[in-house]
Amino acid sequence: MHELTVELGARSYPIFIGEGLFSSTELYEKMMGSSKLMIVTDTNIEQLYLADLLRSLEDFQVFVHVIKAGEVYKNLDTLNTVITAMLTSKISRSDCLIAFGGGVVGDLTGFAAACFQRGINFIQVPTTLLAQVDSSVGGKTAVNHKLGKNMIGAFHQPIGVISDVSILASLPEREFSAGMAEVIKYGLIRDKDFFEWLESNIDKLLMKSSVELAYAIEKSCLNKAAVVSEDEKENGIRAILNLGHTFGHAIETGLNYQTWLHGEAVGMGMVMAAYMSVEMGWLSESDLERTLILINKAGLPIKLSAECKEFNMRELMSIDKKVSHGKLKLILLKNIGSAVITEDFDEQILNNTIKHFYGMTE
């Protein structure tokens, strides 16, 4: 087992990475100060792993709330069912939630924890690669609105994260590839050596080799923890973690959160950001090619689907959390391993980038 720490002073918390951890009674006892808790999970994880988790928590007073699986259910209606279940179960400020699932469960449960009685503890137990390397770490919690992704939320840090590598064995290939988008992101934005390691080890990762997978998760979490520790509330450098997300969120919103997985949209967004970086005269053609090759090898899209032509991507990008004083900030690349946050870009280049990818849809 590897243990990392997100350094946030008195609110610092551990990330545990290893095999067979999600059912470790010792880890939960180590983190929780209360004997009463509620597990929030989805219909997929309920069938696969909930019984094992419950066995490990038999000495606790446990309540369970199950939500429907899928990004389309990450909304205020579902949040209300969680809050109602907490009230019905008489969860108090001294108790704890466990988010047992992928990014949707983690984001929604974290937001419920942030809102309930003005904030209670929660533990992230992510069950997808994407959640293990990204959404479970850093304290961003939210639900979607039909007009924009993650527009309703709060910063609320967990008291711990348990990332069980073995649980990824049951992850469908498409979901696994979606998680690889966030892994590749860390190499692109701040860790060139890790990007080069990914180029050499992508085949082993796609085969879910436990050694390489644990290393990739650890490196991703180390990179994210370093950024979050420096800029918890995204007032500056933390925005680099959103490489590809402004394009990607527009795709997800335009398709009503039903067609592309979040990681697929982010992967496509990184392709578009890399292409625009070349057009800005920053990123080299060779680095763009390497980026495209790795994202494609990971099983992620490098072309828009034809249905993306049915919405105005630029308009949807204007409804973004990185819009300030009417100006959109983009995360672009100077080199592999070096990202830049900028609102000083040529609007025509952005429009030409969107037009370029609209012209090569599948």
Q: What is the CATH number of the domain that holds 65?
A: 3.40.50.1970
Distance, CA of 50 to CA of 46 (rounded, Å) = 5
pLDDT digits (tens, 9 = 90+) for 97-123: 999 999 999 999 999 999 999 999 999
Q: Does residue 199 have an active-site annotation?
A: no
Catalytic choice (212, 234, 252, 264): 234
* Domain shared by 103 and 160, yes or no: yes
Domain C-terminal end among 168, 194, 212: 168
Label residue 322 by pLDDT band (50, 70, 90): confident
Two tokens, residue 307: 């249905």
> Is pLDDT above 90 for 4?
yes
Q: Does residue 140 have an active-site annotation?
A: yes
* Domain shared by 200 and 117, yes or no: no
Distance, CA of 275 to CA of 272 (rounded, Å) = 5
* Domain shared by 77 and 41, yes or no: yes
Catalytic choice (121, 144, 223, 242): 242
Domain count, the chain: 2
> How buried is 314 (Cβ within 10 angstroms: 0-12 exposed, 13-18 middle, 19+ buried)?
middle
Q: What is the DSSP letter of 233?
A: T
Domain C-terminal end among 122, 137, 168: 168
Catalytic choice (190, 238, 321, 322): 238
* Domain shared by 191 and 323, yes or no: yes
Catalytic choice (71, 182, 218, 232): 182
* Domain shared by 65 and 27, yes or no: yes
Residue 236 domain boundaries:
173-358
Q: Mean pLDDT score of the chain, rounded to an integer?
A: 96
Q: Does residue 249 have an active-site annotation?
A: yes
CATH number of the domain enclosing 308: 1.20.1090.10
Residue 149 one-letter amino acid:
K
Q: Does residue 2 have an active-site annotation?
A: no
* Domain shared by 79 and 147, yes or no: yes
Are 16 and 3 spatial neighbours (Cβ–Cβ below 8 Å)? yes
Are 104 and 71 spatial neighbours (Cβ–Cβ below 8 Å)? yes
Catalytic choice (219, 224, 321, 322): 224
Two tokens, residue 63: 């309540």
Catalytic choice (156, 185, 262, 321): 262
> Is pLDDT above 80 for 361?
no
* Domain shared by 99 and 177, yes or no: no
41 Ramachandran zone, left/alpha/beta (phi>0; psi -120 to 50): beta
Q: What is the DSSP letter of 33?
A: S
* Domain shared by 148 and 288, yes or no: no
Cα 72 versus chain centre, distance? 16
Two tokens, residue 18: 């290893």
Supply the pLDDT for residue 323: 81
Catalytic choice (65, 190, 219, 249): 249
Supply the pLDDT for residue 73: 97
Domain C-terminal end among 124, 149, 168: 168
Closest listed residue to residue 129, CA positions, set 160, 165, 157, 97: 165
* Domain shared by 191 and 336, yes or no: yes
> Is pLDDT above 90 for 34?
no
Cα 193 versus chain centre, distance? 22
Q: Does residue 192 have an active-site annotation?
A: no
Average pLDDT over residues 311-321: 91
Q: Does residue 55 have an active-site annotation?
A: no
Q: Does residue 356 have an active-site annotation?
A: no
Closest listed residue to residue 125, CA positions, set 82, 174, 158: 158
Distance, CA of 268 to CA of 301 (rounded, Å) = 6
pLDDT digits (tens, 9 = 90+) for 52-81: 999 999 999 999 999 999 999 999 999 999
Catalytic choice (65, 156, 190, 245): 245
Distances in Å between the Cα of 296 and the Cα atoms of 43, 178, 291 are: 30, 11, 8
Q: Element (H or E) spanning 264, and its range?
A: helix 262-279
* Domain shared by 209 and 350, yes or no: yes
* Domain shared by 163 and 185, yes or no: no
* Domain shared by 253 and 115, yes or no: no
Distances in Å between the Cα of 24 and the Cα atoms of 31, 109, 170, 175 are: 12, 21, 19, 25
